[in-house]
Amino acid sequence: MRTDFKHDIVTAPIFARATPTRFLRDFKGTVTIDRENGARTIPGDKAGGIKPKVIPGRTSNPLKIVFIARTETSSPERSASACGKIARALTGRGHRLLILERNQKQKHESPMPSQTVFYSSVKELKDRFASAIRNADLVMLSSNVAEGAVIGDWVTHIAQGTTAFYDLDTPVTLGKLERGESEHLSRSLIQRYQLYLSFTGGPLLELIGRYYGAPMVRPLYGSVDTSVYYPEKTRLKWDLGYAGNADENQLPGIDELLLEPARRWTGGHFVIAGQGFLQTLDWPDNVKRVADVVADQERTFYNAQRFTLNVTGAEMIEAGFSPSLHIFEAAACGTPIISDYWEDLETFFAPDEEILFARSAEEALYYLRGIGEEERIRIGDNARHRILAEHSAEQRALELENYALEAIAKV
């Protein structure tokens, strides 16, 4: 067992209904589509064309960090992959990282961060890792950890450094908290964490600070590994695709912005990847259904689409500032995104320049049939520039490092 803390180890539903919301707040022509020759390779960071935002070199002040989280990319929870990406980027910056993960007794299809150590119970966690947690500069617990409230209560009592909670689904977490159902948090525990990191930004941050009493609240959005998601030359198979499981809040948007355009444009090619989609009698023949795309095939899936669709659930629109990981991944591949409209998404991507908003099947069809290839590629390139500048895993690690140092300075 290798770890930077080896001397410390003994071997062996709707948000709007649940929280105080008063704190929140025709065709102009068609274009010819060349499916065989339309694919291209956007100059990427690997090819030496588009350059990512310059991230400062390895830190000169490495921190001892204990990260209690689920990080395996084979997990059905995409948030787990978000944790893994940040963990690897933190290590790349030179921090001494120990990842403690509950053994879920499942096959790990993707490589785990080398600093990962598994525990089987809360008792084992306490028995083996108390010293490491006590002596760390930062102990961060994510919201996808089983028995998180019990672990958080223990961590905030014994840690001598800064403690942080990373909420990967803030609207859901706070909704459960209001209903007394949360296994991750309590009001008193929120107040004991010195740093509350949220996958969702915007007004929710003020809510967590003012209403729940968190001492310091900062956004830590999802990110993308740009060494995994990038443009590649492949045949364009679909005009519009969607990746994600069915949700009752998203189905109307999927029907309006993908299925209805497919009904009207029988010559188009569409694809939906995910679970839970019921094939009705009016399911268009030109919409292919596939199971979940495995992680190592997602880049190929996005690159085979002329456009990709984003549909946001009502509760996430209400909470705001919650871009999905699918958006970042597709954009990193240079695939232009057509999205249902919600105002806060404009803070992540510029309308018409980096993302296309559609409020109806007519608007979606105009984009699909009316935008020329050169313009389509330009929009995809612009979105990729934004990803490289602001939403890479390395950028998130730097943000987390700065938040941690800010919190440590306050202790």
Look at 48-62, 192-206, 324-338, 352-366 and tell me which has the smallest mean pLDDT: 48-62
- Better pLDDT: 176 or 10: 176
d(CA 50, CA 30): 31
| Phi/psi at 220 (5° precision) | -140, 85
pLDDT higher than 70, residue 191: yes
More confident residue, 109 or 68: 68
Pinpoint the residues of the chain covered by CATH 3.40.50.2000.
Answer: 6-16+63-221+393-410, 238-390
DSSP structure class, residue 112: P
Cα–Cα separations (whole angstroms), residue 317 to 24, 125, 171, 197, 257: 11, 37, 10, 19, 17
Find the Cα–Cα–Cα–Cα dihedral 398, 404, 406, 407, rounded to 10°: 160
Span of 80-89, 103-112, 132-141 with lowest mean pLDDT: 103-112
Instruction: Report the CATH fold assignment for 6-16+63-221+393-410.
Output: Rossmann fold (3.40.50)
Q: In the structure, what pLDDT confidence band is assigned to residue 80 with cuts at 50, 70 and 90?
A: low
Give the residue, 209 or 279, on which the prediction is more confident: 209
Residues 238-390: name the CATH superfamily.
Glycogen Phosphorylase B; (3.40.50.2000)
Q: What is the pLDDT of residue 15?
A: 31
Residues 6+ apart with CB under 8 A from 162: 137, 138, 139, 194, 195, 404, 407, 408, 411
Q: pLDDT at residue 246 above 80?
A: no
Residue 182: predicted pLDDT: 85
Greatest mean pLDDT range, 5-19, 72-86, 289-303: 289-303
* β-sheet with 337-339: strand ranges across: 287-290, 270-273, 238-243, 305-310, 337-339, 356-357
Using 50, 70 and 90 to split pLDDT, how confident is the model at 244? confident
Which pLDDT band holds residue 56 (cuts at 50, 70, 90)?
Answer: low
Reduced to 3 states, what is the DSSP secondary structure of residue 261? helix
Confidence of residue 280 (pLDDT cuts 50, 70, 90): low
pLDDT range class, residue 79, cuts 50, 70, 90: low
In percent, the amount of the chain with pLDDT more than 70 equals: 78
Distance between CA atoms of 262 and 282, rounded to whole angstroms? 11
pLDDT at 184 over 80: yes
